[in-house]
Amino acid sequence: MNGGFGILSLTIAVPAVGALLLALVPDAYTKAIKGLAIFLAAATFVVSLTVLSVFKGQSYHLQLVEQMNWLPQLGVSYKVGIDGISVWLFLLTTLLTLLSAIFSVYIEKRVKTYFVLMLLLEAAMLGVFVSLDLVLFYTFFEFTLIPMAMLVWIWGGAQRNYAAAKFFLYTFLASIFMLLGIIALANRYADVMPGHEFTFDLVKIQNAVASGVLWKGAGVLQPVLFWAFSLAFLVKCPMFPFHTWLPDAHTEAPTAGSMILAGVLLKMGTYGFLRIVMPLFPEATQQNMWIMLTLAVVGIIYGAIVAAVQPDVKKLVAYSSVAHMGFVMYGIFSLTHTGMVGGAYQQLNHGISTGALFLLIGLLYERIHTREFKAMGGLKAQMPVYAALFLIVMLSSVGLPGLNGFIGEFMAMAGGFQAAYQAGWAGLYLFAGLGVVLAAVYLLWMFQKVFYGKITNESLKGLKDLKPWEVGLVGVFVLFIFWGGIMPNTFLKPTEAAINATRQMVRNRPGARPVWGDLTYEVNEKGDLIRVDQRSDVGSYSGERIVLTNDYYLMEQPKAPMVAMGGGR
């Protein structure tokens, strides 16, 4: 048992404890509440940035691992850790929450409740991305529901009752099957492992999967559990045909809620596939990858077509999310290196560009109080700065080369093509390509309807352009859009090792799969699993040993039992 309280826990604790502190401030001090909330979100962001200073992207192993007993008799522990897949999502969460908290100074109704919910939501989302215990993961995963539903319910648009209830019930129903799956998985682990230890520890379970012990002779159990987990994540992503909650929830949510919903909450689904489904159900993943790819492509096309006919700018962006998350899934389930790295990267890009789009729409909504296209038009003359920023963000969403969206989509499609070509399913690839064209159609169309033409709506005359602080807010997004497009390696490099390992957890035969709990292996630049021989102590951090390899720095993790590992290698 190692590691008490480290950076990851601190990052979760700042918003969680902060929310409780905020709740103690009397309702009337709205300015103080807003200030404190933004301060807390900023503090969380700063704390989360320190992760980068100790994070080693060359290793696929989980780092900064902290483990504490929670409910030991029930096999539940508090175990968190971070790797290349989760590190950017972790930072995206703190960044987006900070930016949406700043935008939320526009909120006037029940200010305190709003910010308390927002901070609780942030804590829960952060927890999802670092949990290494299935029950802990489920806890955070479900805990996001109440604050998010309440954000929609209290501060949402006209249809908020319907949208919030649908969001909650849909995702809750899907994830309760994941809970059943989690328990069945732990049962299976206790049944087959010597010692009959009952645990929800992801690292230990993955260990048993990689060595082939867990699924040996399990028959239909693996596919059943695969779908139990996948259902929860498919709904969360959301993938066609489970997407119907999304347009409602996105449209009705307050601006900051939409930003977080689109930017972070959806990623919990795709992240779940990468972190849990693929490592734990490798055979089922390979068997069902074509179903997933087909769903992804259908989602891409369907989302794009439906987005094109929306009368409401926010609805359009909501449906575009369905299409974009389709690209993420398309890349991830191609099970190729390029595709998976691209898919993982596209998660970030979508978080940035869609978050920015919702922010821009929110800024406009605060001025004109409508989101209908027919009430807009000709805004370019009134708000030139706004139009320019909108253009950049929109083009990033289209996937213009040089901006971040291009890299992710290109890589996801390249990977998808590779997989499809090898399997003789190249047609699927063509359809995905069509999705890119359609994205250009509806987004450019949207831009035209909003910014060009004559001003038809008299009330739009005399509209004020963005204030400096609002420009700064959008500017942060624009910065990342260019950064991600021009120097994507900043973001790609640290994820590669982890993605590689995940891919091989799926692709390799039992016994030859990478194991999170085994420090003697690493993946090299080509993606091959190599044995690391030289390791020596160089120091310690928060009670953990730091081990040095030729060029890998790792936090040593608690030794998981290595069962039946021999032979395969």
Partner 1 sequence: MNYTIPTVDWSLVLPFALVALTGIVALIIETAHPKRDNGLIIGVSLTGLAATFVLLLTQLVLPPARTFGNMVLRDQFSVLLQLICVAATAVCFMFSDGYLREKKIAFGEFYPLTLWALSGAMVMVSTDNLLMLFVGLEILSIALYCLAGMSRSEARSEESALKYFLLGAFASAFLLYGIAFLFGASGSMSLPDIQKAVTGLTRDTLPMPVFGVMLVLVGLGFKASLVPFHQWTPDVYQGAPTNVTAFMAAVSKVAAFGALARVLVAAAPLHQYWFEALYWIAIATMCIGNLVALVQKDVKRALGYSSIAHAGYLLVALLAYTRDPDKVSLGTTVFYLIGYAAMTVGAFAVVSLAAKGDRDGSRYQDLHGLYRRAPFATVMLVLFLSSLIGIPPTVGFFGKQLIFLDALRTGLVPLAIVLAVNSAVSAYYYLQIMVAAFVSEEGAARPVSRKPGAGMTIGVCVCAAGVIFASLLGGYVQETTRTAALQAKPVPGRVQNQMEVINR
Q: Are 128 and 265 in contact (CB under 8 A)?
A: no
Applying CB under 8 A, which of residues 183, 192, 388, 512 lies at the interface with partner 1? Answer: 183
Note whether 219 binds partner 1 by CB under 8 A: no
Note whether 149 binds partner 1 by CB under 8 A: yes
Q: Which SS3 state, helix, strand or coil, does residue 544 take?
A: strand
Note whether 25 binds partner 1 by CB under 8 A: no
Mask of contacts with partner 1, 125-144, x by CB under 8 A? ----------x--xx--xx-
Q: Rounded CA gap, 235 and 237, in Å?
A: 6
Note whether 218 binds partner 1 by CB under 8 A: no
Applying CB under 8 A, which of residues 17, 32, 42, 154 lies at the interface with partner 1? Answer: 154
Q: Which SS3 state, helix, strand or coil, does residue 275 take?
A: helix
Q: Rounded CA gap, 497 and 503, in Å?
A: 10
Note whether 242 binds partner 1 by CB under 8 A: no
CB of residue 142 to partner 1, shortest distance in Å: 5
Note whether 177 binds partner 1 by CB under 8 A: yes
Note whether 145 binds partner 1 by CB under 8 A: yes
Applying CB under 8 A, which of residues 180, 192, 512, 562 lies at the interface with partner 1? Answer: 180
Q: Rounded CA gap, 294 and 292, in Å?
A: 5
Give the residue among 231, 339, 346 at the shortest CA–CA distance from 284. 231
Q: Rounded CA gap, 347 and 267, in Å?
A: 6
Tokens 């347009």 label which residue?
247
Q: Are 259 and 249 in contact (CB under 8 A)?
A: no
CB of residue 497 to partner 1, shortest distance in Å: 32
Element (H, E) at 14: helix 7-24
CB of residue 173 to partner 1, shortest distance in Å: 4
Applying CB under 8 A, which of residues 159, 161, 456, 489 lies at the interface with partner 1? Answer: 161
Tokens of 262: 């689109």
Q: CA-based angle 316:318:319, to the nearest 5?
A: 70
Note whether 453 binds partner 1 by CB under 8 A: no
CB of residue 116 to partner 1, shortest distance in Å: 9
Tokens 């929306």 label which residue?
310
In the bound state with partner 1, the residue whose beta carbon lies nearer, of 73 and 534, is 73
Q: What is the 3-state secondary structure (H, E, C) of 314-341?
A: HHHHHHHHHHHHHHHHHHHCCCCHHHHH
Applying CB under 8 A, which of residues 10, 68, 146, 381 lies at the interface with partner 1? Answer: 146
Contacts to partner 1 from residues 288-307, by CB under 8 A:
none
Element (H, E) at 301: helix 282-308
Applying CB under 8 A, which of residues 20, 28, 52, 74 lies at the interface with partner 1? Answer: 74
Contacts to partner 1 from residues 508-547, by CB under 8 A:
none
Q: Which residues bind partner 1 (CB under 8 A)?
A: 23, 27, 71-74, 135, 138-139, 142-143, 145-146, 149-150, 153-154, 161, 164-165, 168-169, 172-173, 176-177, 179-180, 183-184, 186-187
